[in-house]
Amino acid sequence: MDKKSLTAVARQQLKLAAAASSGRSSQTIYGGHQRSLRQTVVALRAGEALAEHDSPGEATLLVLSGTLSLVAGDDSWKGSTGDMLIIPASRHSVEALEDVAFLLTVAK
């Protein structure tokens, strides 16, 4: 069995995002392209975004710290620490309303 502290990984990714010119950083903590389940901790500086994109499968987003907005077409959902959002199957984007770290879970 492997154990990871999401709090520690989120803290590390937030530090890396703060120093990155893109304002973001991520680390896959489980799975990957060879598995059907992938979990990735993503960190974004306030004001940064993941541009509109398609989801490769069913997906959820669990906010570990901070606040974000998930947008799909005319719909948007605000998420803050502890919130889990179901990512729609349609094109969507994510914007950091403040420095944010979240666990993205995708099942392909």
**Which tokens is 105 given?**
């879970």
Specify the 3-state DSSP secondary structure of 29. strand
**Which tokens is 83 given?**
């919130």
Tell me: the pLDDT tens digits for 44-94? Answer: 999 999 999 998 789 999 999 999 999 999 999 999 999 999 999 999 999
Rounded (5°) CA angle 87-8-28: 45
Q: In this model, does residue 35 exceed pLDDT 90?
A: no
Question: Hey, where are the domains in the chain?
Answer: 6-107
**pTM of the predicted protein model:** 0.94
Q: In this model, does residue 108 exceed pLDDT 90?
A: no
Q: Are residues 17 and 44 in contact, defined by beta-carbon separation less than 8 angstroms?
A: yes
CA distance 64 to 58: 20
Q: Distances from the Cα of 108 to the Cαs of 25, 32, 79, in angstroms?
A: 22, 10, 23
What CATH homologous superfamily does 6-107 map to? Answer: Jelly Rolls (2.60.120.10)
